Structure 1
Amino acid sequence: MTTHSEVSGRVSAPGRATTADDRLLAALLDGMEAALFAVDTAGRITHWNRKAERMLGWSREQAVGRAGLGGWAVREADAADVMDRLLAALRSPAEDGAGRPFQEFPLVRKDGGRILVRAKTTAVREPDGRPTGVYCAFGEAHAQLDLERNLALSEALLGECGSWATVLLDADLRTVAVNDAAAEALAVTPVDMLGEPLGEFFGAGLDELESGLEQALAGQPPAGPVELWLTLLDDGTHEDGFGEPSSGPSGDARRCLVSGFLRLGAPAGPEPAPLGVAWVFQDVTRARRQARGVARRRFRDEQLSRAARAAAECEDPLEAAVLHLHYALPGFADHALLDTVSPKAATLVRTAESPGAFGAASGARGVAVRYRQGHPALQALERGMAVRATGGVSRSSWAVEHRWPKDAEHALCVVLRSRGRSLGVLTFLRGASRRPFDRADAAYGEDVALRVASAVDLHGPART
């Protein structure tokens, strides 16, 4: 039987094969992940690596030196066809790696079982171009197809897939790949995120996102899709169609992303090490905002209807006005103030209020409220339209300066109009834990003000 060293020397160029070369070649072949064997121009087996031993059961000593594959690694009926397809590489012109042909044929294991393999053949040539043999690298066809399907899926998710956004992160949660759908949803370019931590791009909601990614890396991803609200780090201050903050042309600053997390593990080794995690998501912000807007409008309409029914049972019109304030607060504001125009002087008088989260009253009822010039309530009265105001976290005395409860952070002042006259101002207040009033809130506040104005007018019309 021909030894491995003798065959290596014969396949290599004459005069250049040494014992060190043989050992290096043997080590390289045995370290390959693919099974591999080689034949000379006569079809005699010259190489057989350890991967081929493990896959088929035939040892190197049993394989090297055999004349052809028939009767042991291939059925006799298939032997001539398989060998002819292997040696066809010798008849082809010298090709590059991309042009090497694939072959599929059945092999026989030592235990008698058959296995369909997918092989890639390469001709071995002397420096003058004369062929000396053929190398055949092969693997189980089903495993190869699974690998190709996985690669095709990866390419689709990172390339042409438009419905699913995909972000790949390494084990340190730094971005390594972003597809076009993800870049569009997150208002970035794919290059912007590469190598960067997620904290560079997200504000509120980042902790929940990182928690899901870390769970996936630990091998325990969330059981189902997770709905995450993430705030993009953008200084845009515009509003969208629902009155929510917007980051300009790229869309809303807050995004609702239905997310899934997939652990990426290296396939080699008994215990695959995590390569990172894939974050796959869909941007459902618009649908969620629309659904939330519909639910909010439905609730507010119900509150207006309930307030109208309760006010109809009040004998005192002012009591009915206060009832409207009580019903307006849930889900809308933390506090409401009713200031009416004094019939004797052009000043606002505190008539009623509806304490909510702020508790204690902010002023004596029936006493003129000395708002300073330029106060939002006075602006609303002068302009005859709603005025929104926000104090900001850096202005701790803002509410006190405006003679509002100290915890107030956002205000909406709406003028009371009835029979062509301005009867006063209705002020709604929110704390720092809530968002500022938007256009939809102002429209609702005006609806409440219309009902309050009718009750105030019925109680005692003012002259302005």
Structure 2
Amino acid sequence: MQPFDAKPLSDGDEQLLAALLDGMEAGLCAFDRDGVITHWNSEAVRILGWSADDAVGRRGFSGWAARTADAHDVQTRLLGAMDAPGRQVHEFALLTKDGHRVLVRTQSAAVQGQDGRPAGVYCAFSEVHAQIDLERSIALSEALFDDASWGVVLIDADLRPAVVNAHAARLLRTGRDTLLGRPLGDLLEQGLEELETALQHVLAEGSPPVPSELWLSLRGDESAKRHCWRSGFVRLGSPLGEEPVPLGVGWLFLDVTEAKLAEQEGSLLRFRHNQLHRAGRTASECEDPVEAATTYLDFALAGFADHALVDLAGDDGRLVRAASTPEGSSGPCLPVPVGTIPVAYGAAHPVLQAVERIGTVRASFGALAAAEPASRARIDEWAAARRWPEGTVHGLSTVLRSRGRTLGAVTFLRGAGRRLFDRSDAAYAEDVAVRVAAALDLAQQLG
């Protein structure tokens, strides 16, 4: 049927118009000035069950698509859109062909004729629950990008941020607009490959079933601090195609660094406690106290350090090497032949400081040696100056004390690729030193 007083349409135009109306995702009906229905699309048929033949030509909804008590109010409010500016939104209860009531939300607006006067009304409607689902989805999206406690970043198919919420911008330490369109390599340093691999997997295979934990560091952060972000990924596809093409990935993440560090610290403490317990049981079976001392060091080295050195004070107070691990490769700590030549430690050496202070002293080639390694020659030169094996980057020396006497010092060494010794490492080394000192004191008593 030709709409209102419009210019006559060609056959091709009418076919195009019919296809557009039938392809709408909302029900559509149109009324002329007298309230007679002129259009009724296929989505309206699906929602209410009334066919176009049932609807077109009827005046209003009375007696068929609405209860008699409701029909007058429905028609008055719909046709009232001809005299009102813009679109009008209403909710009505309509009747399906099989007699069920359906609550629909309508948007109606006037249709202008060739003379500029209202010639009728069009009305687009959908079931309220479907509209509510859409509004909830929109509201959820807006909430995620406003006040969500998770970081949310939408990443396009080229792996560049397209939308960033405020929480994500704070975690990435930059502005929301600054991130848009930039490569991820401009934002992240360590962990970048793992993140990009995860994003590519999601684009190709779909969303993973469980969140993953990624350790990342921010580019430009001088401290090189690593952050653990628990990350979930959602592949984004267009619902308009028969086979949705991925539009990008939704990356949702939460900073769990403190919790993970606490968990790791707890695991480390349990492991070290078990090592000391095993070492004590093994050392108790050793007849030679010196062997018991080296047994403690062998157990302590596991996951803690690469080398261990034991220096004992001679009669003149100078330190003589008593036990050590092999320099060239990892191996057990073994006694060395007893001699009288002291170790040629220079002034202010960590071992001498530990003995003098009766405590623990840490030394390192550089705080960022693991992140920005210097040449091997410079590292070896630094280690040689301290009489430590080649490749040593970090050292920790702690005093050996027993019965109120200083027996010497034990030194633990780490190579490149290991982190610096921290306070918890110092406390563990001191626990080991107490046991080693007691065994060496017994060895001296036995001659």
TM-score range, shorter chain: 0.7 to 0.9
Superposition pairs of residues 403-414 of structure 1, within 5 angstroms:
403-414=387-398
1:3 aligns to 2:2 (yes or no): yes
Deviations 1:336-378 (A, max 9, x none): 11122332363x3221124599326899654533334444333
Work out which of the residue numbers 63, 68, 74 in structure 2 matches 1:82. Answer: 74
Match of 1:140 in 2: 127
Deviation, 1:205, is 2.8
Work out which of the residue numbers 332, 347, 358 in structure 1 matches 2:329. Answer: 358
TM-score (norm 2): 0.81
User: Would the alpha carbon gap of residues 72 and 3 (structure 1) be closer, same or farther in structure 2, given more than 3 Å must change?
Assistant: farther
1:440 aligns to 2:439 (yes or no): no
Superposition pairs of residues 387-406 of structure 1, within 5 angstroms:
387-391=361-365, 392=369, 393-397=373-377, 398-399=379-380, 400-401=383-384, 402-406=386-390
Match of 2:230 in 1: 258
Q: Provide structure 1 residue ranges, at least 5 long, that are not aligned to the other structure.
A: 10-16, 238-246, 248-252
Please give the secondary structure, in 2, of the residue aligned with 1:221.
coil
Q: Which residue identity is paired with 1:259?
A: S
Q: Provide structure 2 residue ranges, at least 5 long, that are not aligned to the other structure.
A: none
Superposition pairs of residues 142-221 of structure 1, within 5 angstroms:
142-162=129-149, 164-221=150-207
Please give the secondary structure, in 1, of the residue aligned with 2:329.
coil
Deviation, 1:445, is 0.9
Deviation, 1:78, is 5.3
Deviations 1:277-309 (A, max 9, x none): 112233222222222212222222232233334
Deviation, 1:87, is 1.8
Deviation, 1:441, is 0.7
CA contact (8 A) 1:362 1:405 kept: no
Match of 1:431 in 2: 415
Separation in structure 1 between the aligned mates of residue 114 and residue 235 of structure 2, nearest angstrom: 47
Match of 2:316 in 1: 344
Separation in structure 1 between the aligned mates of residue 407 and residue 187 of structure 2, nearest angstrom: 48
Deviations 1:146-187 (A, max 9, x none): 21121122222222222x332221122211223333334444
Please give the secondary structure, in 1, of the residue aligned with 2:78.
helix
CA contact (8 A) 2:153 2:165 kept: yes
Match of 1:102 in 2: 90
Separation in structure 1 between the aligned mates of residue 387 and residue 234 of structure 2, nearest angstrom: 54
Q: Which residue identity is paired with 2:288?
A: D
Q: Which residue identity is paired with 1:310?
A: T
Please give the secondary structure, in 1, of the residue aligned with 2:189.
coil
Separation in structure 2 between the aligned mates of residue 235 and residue 418 of structure 1, nearest angstrom: 45
Superposition pairs of residues 236-385 of structure 1, within 5 angstroms:
236-237=222-223, 253-344=225-316, 346=318, 348-354=319-325, 358-359=329-330, 365-366=337-338, 368-385=342-359
User: Would the alpha carbon gap of residues 447 and 191 (structure 1) be closer, same or farther in structure 2, given more than 3 Å must change?
Assistant: farther
Match of 2:59 in 1: 67
Match of 2:360 in 1: 386
Deviation, 1:118, is 2.2
CA contact (8 A) 1:335 1:357 kept: no
CA contact (8 A) 2:49 2:96 kept: no
Between stretches 179-188 and 26-35, larger displacement belongs to: 26-35
Deviation, 1:325, is 0.6
Deviations 1:382-441 (A, max 9, x none): 444323233332141324523333343322222223455543221112232332221111
User: Would the alpha carbon gap of residues 234 and 426 (structure 1) be closer, same or farther in structure 2, given more than 3 Å must change?
Assistant: farther
Deviation, 1:122, is 1.8
The alignment-based identity, stated in percent, is: 50
Separation in structure 1 between the aligned mates of residue 167 and residue 248 of structure 2, nearest angstrom: 20
1:122 aligns to 2:94 (yes or no): no
Please give the secondary structure, in 2, of the residue aligned with 1:101.
strand
Q: Which residue identity is paired with 1:133?
A: G
Match of 1:229 in 2: 215
Separation in structure 2 between the aligned mates of residue 454 and residue 175 of structure 1, nearest angstrom: 60
Separation in structure 1 between the aligned mates of residue 335 and residue 279 of structure 2, nearest angstrom: 25
Please give the secondary structure, in 2, of the residue aligned with 1:215.
helix
CA contact (8 A) 1:336 1:355 kept: no
Separation in structure 2 between the aligned mates of residue 123 and residue 362 of structure 1, nearest angstrom: 96
Please give the secondary structure, in 2, of the residue aligned with 1:257.
strand
TM-score (norm 1): 0.78
User: Would the alpha carbon gap of residues 218 and 59 (structure 1) be closer, same or farther in structure 2, given more than 3 Å must change?
Assistant: farther
Please give the secondary structure, in 2, of the residue aligned with 1:460.
helix
CA contact (8 A) 1:213 1:221 kept: no
Match of 2:440 in 1: 456
Please give the secondary structure, in 1, of the residue aligned with 2:376.
coil
Separation in structure 2 between the aligned mates of residue 357 and residue 303 of structure 1, nearest angstrom: 25
Q: Which residue identity is paired with 1:178?
A: V
Q: Which residue identity is paired with 1:390?
A: S
Separation in structure 1 between the aligned mates of residue 82 and residue 66 of structure 2, nearest angstrom: 21
Separation in structure 1 between the aligned mates of residue 406 and residue 46 of structure 2, nearest angstrom: 92
Q: Which residue identity is paired with 2:2?
A: T
Q: Which residue identity is paired with 2:135?
A: E
Please give the secondary structure, in 2, of the residue aligned with 1:176.
strand
Query: May I ask how many residue pairs the two structures share in their alignment?
Result: 429
